[in-house]
Copies of this chain bind each other. A is one copy, B any other.
Amino acid sequence: MTDDQSAGGIRVLLAEDQGMVREALAALLGLEGDIDVVAQVGRGDEVVEAVLAHRVQVAVLDIEMPGMTGIEAAAELRRRSPGTRVVIATTFGRPGYLRKAMESGADAFLVKDAPAAELAEAVRRVLRGERVIDPTLAAAALAEGANPLTGRELEVLAAAADGAVNAEIARRLHLSEGTVRNYLSMAIQKTGARNRAEAVRIAAAKGWM
């Protein structure tokens, strides 16, 4: 997963769990004369090590990855390699994702719907110190406000997401069953849903989970 021949271009790392997509993006960036993809990883928890090993200037991270999300990896990078710029490229343009990405210190946020040319352009711009954010998404994130759900409410909602019954959620999180009901009731109200399933759907769509 390391293709390290320095030719003088921008040193880029690609983190993306789907091999075919990752290699295709590498091929795409490789066509740009000023960019060298010097490392590729398929897991979030391999990002920091690879960045340090290959003196990466710009890390392009997917969000959904095994081991660690791209957002968590961005936060790690902020600590362990503060000079490295971070571009988040994700399938889902959820406002909550954008917010979390920015808080974790990302420099750019792209959705994969966008034309491919934007990726190379974003890499160049973050290296110049600019921030690159889809304006539509930025507006949506601002309009929506912050995630209203508390940590515990999110945990309970996540457990409910895969169809667990109250008693099981209680066991998993070491809570009483009544407390689980209370949290879910709160989450349902805050999301404006009519039941737990809808609450899960809404929270997921907004990138709160």
Contacts and interface: CB of A to CB of B under 8 A. Distances in A.
A116 B197 contact: no
Given A20-B25, A20-B89, A27-B27, A201 B115 contact: no
A200 to B, nearest CB: 7
Q: How many copies does the complex hold?
A: 2
Contacts of A25: 20-21, 24
A97 to B, nearest CB: 15
Contact of A163 (B91, B112, B163, B199): B199
Contacts of A200: 163, 197
A198 B115 CA distance: 37
A20 B197 contact: no
A27 B119 CA distance: 14
Contact of A201 (B17, B23, B163): B163
A143 interface: no
Interface stretch (A76-84, A100-108, A188-196): A188-196
Contacts of A194: 163, 165
A163 B17 contact: no
Contact of A113 (B20, B31, B193): B20
The 9 A-B pairs of least Cβ separation, nearest first, read A163-B198, A23-B116, A24-B24, A163-B197, A24-B28, A27-B28, A18-B112, A20-B112, A24-B25
20 contacts: A18-B113, A19-B116, A20-B110, A20-B114, A20-B115, A21-B112, A22-B116, A23-B28, A23-B115, A24-B24, A24-B27, A24-B28, A160-B197, A161-B197, A162-B197, A163-B193, A163-B194, A164-B198, A165-B194, A165-B195
Interface of A: 17-25, 27-28, 31, 89, 91, 110, 112-119, 160-165, 193-202
